[in-house]
Amino acid sequence: MIPAWVLDYPTGEETGEYLAIDLGGTNLRVVNVTLKGNNQFETKQSKYSLPEGIRTAEADELFKFMAECLKTFVDENFPSNLSEPIPLGFTFSYPASQDIIDEGILQRWTKGYDIHGVEGYDVVPMLTKALKELNVPIEVVALINDTTGTLVASTYTDKETRMGLIFGTGVNGAYYERCGDIPKLEGKLVDDISDNTPMAINCEYGSFDNEHAVLPRTKYDIRIDDESPRPGQQSFEKMISGYYMGEVLRMLILDLAEKKLIFGDNGYKQLQEPYVMDSSFPSLFDLDTSDELDNSKKKLQLLGVESTYEDRQALKELASFVGERAARLAVCGIAAICKKRNYKTAHCAADGSVYEKYPGFKERAARALRDIFQWSEKDDPIVIVHAEDGSGVGAAVIAALTQKRVNQGKSVGTKSKMESKVNK
C-alpha cells in the first residue's frame, strides 16, 4: 500500500486548466481538463496508439514517444505561445513508490510491460528530460496512479465517494486514510501535516497474498502464476482481472478437452496457445442467450473449434464460474477498507472494462457485498457506482490540489524530500 501524497479532499470548487497523460495497455491518452468549479468540468482528449514493441523497448524510446504525443497535442490545442508551462498530472498506473507528489520510483512493471532501465528509478525526470529535448512547455506537478485519480475525480463530483476502484486489465483500489494511521510515515511528516490530515492511499492490492497463504487458488491459478513473466507477483490480480479471466477459462476448457469430456475428437490445437482467449470469450459464453448458443459456436470457430450444443452449455457454466469468482473476490477489497475505516455508508466509484462490460459483474458484486455484511435492509448502504475519469479528470484535480498546497507554502512530501526540494 503506497501513500500517494494527495493530502486534501477536493471541494468541487477547484478551477483551472490542466493536462493529464495516461499510459495504458494499448493507447496513450492526453487529456485537456478545464475544472469549472461547482463540481463541473470539461475535457478534450486525443488517443495515440502505442508503437509495436514499445512494452519491451528501451526507456528512452518510451518517454520520447510520450513527449512527442504531448507536443502534438499542445501544438494542436494551444497554437499561440504560452506565457507559462501548462501543469501536467502524469497518470502512471504501475506500482511506484512516492515520498513526494511529483515523484514515482517504479517498483515493478505490470500489464505486460518489461522495459529495462526503469524499475528502481523515478519516472518523472525521464519524462521531464524528454519534454525539454522537444521544447514542450509542460511542467509535471503530480504523478498519480489511475486508481487514486478515480478516487479523487469521483470525490470532486460526489461527496459520498469513499473508494476509487479499477476492475479491468488490472485490479486495484484507493481510499483516504488518516496520516496518523499510516505506519510507513512515522517520523517522516513535516509540521504542517497532522495526524488527522487525510492521505490518499494507492492500495496496490492486486498483489495481495503474494505469499500464497490466504487465497484459495486452483491448479489453474498456480499454473498461470508459474508460467507468468513474474511468478509470485500480483497474485490477487491473476485470479480476477480481465487480463487473466480468459486464460483461466482456457485452461479449464483445455483440461476438459484433453480428458475427452468436451469436443469429442474435434481438434482444439489453437486452444493450446496461452492467452489466445481474452476476456471477451468468458464474457460472451456467460451472456449468450442465442438459440442453441450459436454465438458461442461462432466464437469457438474463430479458434478452429467445432462444438456440440452440450459442449457450449458446459462452457457457459464454466464461464459463469469464472465471472462469479472474479466478482466475489473483487469486492473483498471494498469490504476490507470499509471495515477498516468503519464506513457504514459509501459510494465506491469503479472503472475498468470488467466493471463496465463483463455481463452480470455489477449484480454479482452487489450480491457478494450483501453476503459479506449480511445486510437486511432493502437498499444497500455501501454501493458500487460508476466512476469519473480518474486518469484524466482525477489527474487534473490532483494537480490543482497540489498547486494550491504549494502556493500556500504547505508540504507535498516527506520531511527529507521537502528539505531537498527547498535546497534545490
- Catalytically annotated residues: 93, 108, 146
Kindly state the cell numbers that stand for 298: 461462432
Contact yes or no for 396/37 (Cβ under 8 A) = no
Beta strands in 39-190 (DSSP E): 40-49, 86-91, 96-97, 105-106, 138-144, 161-167, 171-178
From the CB of residue 271, how many other CB atoms can be counted at a distance below 10 Å? Answer: 19
Q: Which three cell numbers stand for residue 339?
A: 471495515
Q: Which three cell numbers stand for residue 321?
A: 464460474
For residues 344 and 150, what is the distance between their CA atoms, to the nearest angstrom?
Answer: 21
Cβ pair 246, 282 in contact under 8 A: yes
Please spell the DSSP secondary structure of 361-380, one letter per residue.
Answer: HHHHHHHHHHHHHT--SSS-
Cα separation of 74 and 80, whole Å? 10
Rounded CA separation 271/306 (Å): 12
| Spatial contact of 194 and 172, defined as CB atoms under 8 Å apart | no
Instruction: Give the Cα-Cα-Cα angle 198, 140, 394 (nearest 5 degrees).
Output: 45
Query: In angstroms, what CA-CA distances link 40 with 11, 290, 388?
Result: 11, 42, 11
H-only helix segments in 164-240: 219-227, 237-240
> What is the rounded (10 degree) CA torsion for 99, 102, 105, 110?
120
Question: In the structure, how many helices (H) and strands (E) does the chain have?
Answer: 13, 13
CA-nearest of 341, 165, 138, 344 to 240 is: 165
User: Of 164, 75, 209, which Cα lies nearest the Cα of 398?
Assistant: 164
Residue 201: closest CA among 237, 239, 268, 148: 148
Terminal CA-CA length for the chain: 29
Q: Nearest 5°: phi and psi at 176?
A: -95, 130
